[in-house]
């Protein structure tokens, strides 16, 4: 079967999204490195910090669209770095709840400040409407995939 013109356009969008993801991860690594983190570690710490509630590895993975096994490996690394804490989970003994440690909280706050300066600079030359339209399209495509 041959792609339609919309199928070709969406294929181009998918490929550009892959390239953009790689570029974002590299930029995130540069931002996070001075704080002893990587993009992956930052991505795992993010929802725990933002939602300010203990989460299991599976919950983090679902919220971020990541593989549970990958999140588990990163959580183990973050624990060694003392960026997170484990709490017992009354609902599931083998799935501890994860919280941000005080050191992790301070790190994320400082990293978020650096990210704000970076993203504000990156958004120069783009309109808020352009950004919102792109976001809406990406959300629509993701929901169709789900």
Measured at the alpha carbon of residue 111, what is the angle toward residues 85 and 50, in degrees to the nearest 5? 55
Model pLDDT, residue 94: 84
Query: Which domains does the chain show, CATH number per domain?
Result: 32-145 (1.10.10.10)
pLDDT of residue 92: 84
Task: List beta partners, residue 79.
Answer: none
At a CB cut-off of 8 Å and minimum separation 6, what does 140 contact?
none
Which pLDDT value is given to residue 146?
87
Cα gap 113→52, rounded to integer Å: 18
Query: Tokens 């704000």 — which residue?
Result: 116
Q: What is the structure's pLDDT at 85?
A: 96
Query: pLDDT of the chain along its 146 residues, tens only?
Result: 999 999 999 999 999 999 999 999 999 999 999 999 999 999 999 999 999 899 999 999 999 989 999 999 999 999 999 999 999 998 888 899 999 999 999 999 999 999 999 999 999 999 999 999 999 999 999 999 98
Which three-class secondary structure state does DSSP give residue 55? strand
């Amino acid at each position: 079967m041959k792609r339609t013109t919309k199928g070709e356009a969406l294929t181009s969008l998918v490929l550009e999204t892959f390239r953009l993801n790689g570029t974002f991860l590299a930029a995130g690594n540069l931002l996070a490195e001075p704080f002893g983190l990587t993009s992956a570690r930052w991505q795992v710490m993010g929802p725990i910090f933002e939602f300010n509630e203990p989460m299991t590895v599976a919950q983090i993975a679902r919220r971020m669209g990541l593989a549970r096994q990958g999140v588990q490996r990163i959580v183990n690394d973050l624990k060694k770095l003392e960026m997170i804490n484990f709490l017992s989970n009354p609902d599931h003994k083998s799935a501890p709840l994860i919280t941000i440690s005080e050191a992790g909280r301070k790190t994320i706050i400082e990293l978020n400040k650096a990210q704000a300066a970076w993203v504000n600079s990156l958004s120069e030359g783009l309109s808020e409407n352009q950004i919102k339209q792109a976001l809406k399209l990406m959300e629509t495509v993701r929901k169709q995939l789900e």
